[in-house]
A and B are shown apart, each in its own frame.
Chain A
Amino acid sequence: MITPVDDFLAAAVRTATPLALAALGECITERGGVINIGLEGAIICGALAATIAAGTVGGPLGVTAGFTAGALAGVVVTLLFALFTVYLRADQIITGTAITLLSLGFTGLVYKTVYGTTGVGLTIPTIGDVPIPGLSQLPLVGRALFAQPVITYALYAIVPFLAWWFVRTHAGLALRATGESPDAALAAGIQPRTVQALAVLAGGAFAGVAGATLVLAQSGTFVEGMSAGKGFIAIAIVVLGRWTPLGVAGAALLFGGASALQYLFQSLGWREVPYQLFLALPYVLTLLVLARASARSQAPAALARRQLTVG
């Protein structure tokens, strides 16, 4: 028996999955002291690359090819961002905005070139839900957490791994040191530029996979501009999650839940309530939580700084 609550929770996890992927990547980038506003661009490029790769290869193998291509596309786009911000020390906000605009236009151009003006319809192979025997039968959270596409399950491993990696590994420490005090990192023998570049590229790969998820695990098609602001929401989720993997995962789930609540409310057919109120719900909730949480900020000290080291 599937209850409305089951549907709501499953929708929350589904909506949260691409957001969590993109936000975890951005979390890595920001812990290294770089804010990548071009996340939206990496998502849409990942979505298009996944579409083309999965459509070309086809079948179950096509999905794997799609996710790989998505990650690669995210890396390629953020390579441009890394070049300008990490090595040429250009303003991160302006560069990121340019990357997003460039990507939205560029993907439209490539899409029309590859598929013509008629588009692809619903022809891209998708990964279905894979219910985990036993676990998916659990009351309340069973279906929501354990009857999802494989990419959602990957998150269950990535989140604790990243949390461990940030705190317990030398590389994680180097990343955080670069984001807090590049001078101190340099003094400790760390190459801040290399660390930042790698952090940016890792973020790009995650964002590309988020874009691939939109196509391969959800819609089965590409549409120009289908990232629809998810990159910017992911950046807000990083702040909401206080720059920790667990916090980011929780914040993504909160946002996914608010979106799912919005879908549920509209489907209840309360015509007297303006639908715009429901549509605003995820954003209002985010603002409320942010207002409560921002009392003590924990942003990396060197975030978005143009001059990397004083020395």
Chain B
Amino acid sequence: MAFGAIALAAAAAACGGEQTAATSDALRVALLTPGPISDQAWNGGAYEGLMAIRDSLGANVSHIQTKTPAEFEENFRQYGAQGYRMVVGHGFEFQDAAARVAPDYPGTIFICTSGDMLGPNLSGMNFAFEEASFQAGMIAARLSTSGVIGAIAGTELPPVRASFTAFERGAKLIRPDIRLLVAYLGTWDDVAAGKEQALALIARGADVVFQNADAAGLGIFAAAKEKNVLTFGANADQNEIAPDHIVGSIVINWPRVMLTVAREVQDSAYRGTLYQFGMRRNMVSLVLNPRFESRIPADLRAQVDSVGTAIVEGRFHDMDDILQPADRPARQNAP
């Protein structure tokens, strides 16, 4: 008996499942995050988006933190069986499980952030993180005095790799001889590993470290503070976490992104398309830390802004090979 009680308490606490009640026939939306929503980044941002759905649409929302990939499918099925209208798997890693589950629950719409699969009730949500990464690379190259910059991520997911490629191209546009050192932690939670890896890159001369490591990114910020080098925030506005060392953050406007999709679902306007969010609709942008505005030379600033304008106007073609164009048919979900 005692064991049962412990196991139950553990399961309840581990899931962190929270439900917020609204009216009975309200839109029901669920979010699965791969990490803690206290990461002040990828997961926290999505949760903020979920809260916007609750507040703006009066939706009934639920969040669950998954621990292992084996739980992805199980949790999708739970929400599907409960009749949730929209279930968001937060990350590329969720989409295989979503593709398996989607045909069994046609009344539920499955959304995978950073995914590229499609089905009648399955959509990927693609962020042109590369665009702002390119701009960040331009700034990093100019602010670097050593000519060596670094980039650290949790694992080598395709969107992460593409973002690092864009970062490198942006840097080389400003300084062709710049050298980028890339490292992966194999974890998104291990803050100590994030810090050690950042220290190792800094010891090899990197004086600007780009990162996309969620909670482990806090360790990278700690290393930047300790060694007085520069870094960038990712997925949410992290500028205030280390205000003297974070040059700017690549911010995904989560409330706007999540509300856009939830509104379509609520209005029955959902058509199973691949969502493309980038600079064009002001969904993803590089938000500079006000403290660094004066340190960025005017000519560089003008160059960065002109790249931004070119991207928005569709005149920028340096990343066509890594960006997913909106009109290109996405990978079809095999039934």
Report if A130 contacts B (CB, 8 A): no
Q: Identify the closest chain A residue to B186 (Cβ).
A: A279
List of A residues within 8 angstroms of B274 by Cβ: none
Contact residues of A: prevailing secondary structure: helix
Query: Is B179 positioned at the interface, with any CB of A under 8 Å from its CB?
Result: yes
| B215 on interface, CB distance cutoff 8 Å | yes
Q: Are A108 and B16 in contact, with the CB atoms below 8 A?
A: yes
- Tell whether, in the assembled complex, residue A108 and residue B200 are in contact, meaning their CB atoms are under 8 Å apart: no
Query: Is there contact, CB below 8 Å, between A223 and B191?
Result: yes
Q: Is A61 an interface residue (CB 8 A)?
A: no
The distance in angstroms between the C-alpha atoms of A263 and B237, with both chains bound, is 28
Q: Are B241 and A266 neighbours in the complex by a CB distance under 8 Å?
A: no
16 cross-chain CB contacts under 8 A: A7-B203, A101-B11, A105-B10, A105-B16, A112-B16, A112-B38, A117-B37, A117-B47, A121-B218, A219-B192, A220-B222, A263-B197, A266-B182, A267-B181, A276-B186, A279-B184
Q: Apart from A108-B36, A263-B197, list 15 A-B contacts with CB within 8 A.
A: A11-B199, A105-B12, A106-B13, A112-B38, A119-B38, A218-B192, A219-B222, A223-B189, A223-B191, A228-B189, A263-B199, A266-B183, A266-B197, A267-B197, A267-B203
What is the CB-to-nearest-CB distance from B68 to chain A, in angstroms, rounded to a whole number? 12
- The binding surface of chain B is classed by DSSP as helix
Closest to B242 in A: A122
Q: Is A111 an interface residue (CB 8 A)?
A: yes
| Residues of B contacting A101 in the complex (Cβ-Cβ under 8 angstroms) | 7, 10-11, 14
Contacting B at CB under 8 A, from A89-126, are 90, 94-95, 98-99, 101-102, 104-106, 108-109, 111-112, 115, 117-119, 121-122
Q: Hey, which bits of chain A sit against chain B, CB under 8 A?
A: 2, 4, 7, 11, 14-15, 18, 84, 90, 94-95, 98-99, 101-102, 104-106, 108-109, 111-112, 115, 117-119, 121-122, 214, 218-221, 223-226, 228, 259-260, 263-264, 266-269, 271, 275-276, 279
B200 near A263: Cβ-Cβ < 8 Å: yes
Size of the chain B interface, CB-CB below 8 angstroms: 57
Q: How far is the CA of A250 from the CA of B319 in the complex (A)?
A: 49
Q: Given A119-B44, A121-B240, is A226 in contact with B190 using a C-beta cutoff of 8 Å?
A: yes
A263 CA / B186 CA spacing, docked (Å)? 11
Chain B positions 122-173 with a Cβ under 8 Å from a chain A Cβ? 150, 156
List A contacts of B242 (CB < 8 A).
122
Known: A104-B14, A108-B13. Is A225-B192 also a contact (CB below 8 A)?
Answer: no
Chain B interface (Cβ < 8 Å from any Cβ of A): 2-3, 6-7, 9-16, 35-40, 44, 47, 65, 150, 156, 179-187, 189-197, 199-201, 203-204, 206, 215-216, 218-219, 221-222, 225, 240-242
- Bound-state CA distance A68–B148 (Å) is 41
Question: With the chains together, A15 CA to B13 CA distance in Å?
Answer: 29
A221 to B203, CA, bound (A): 22
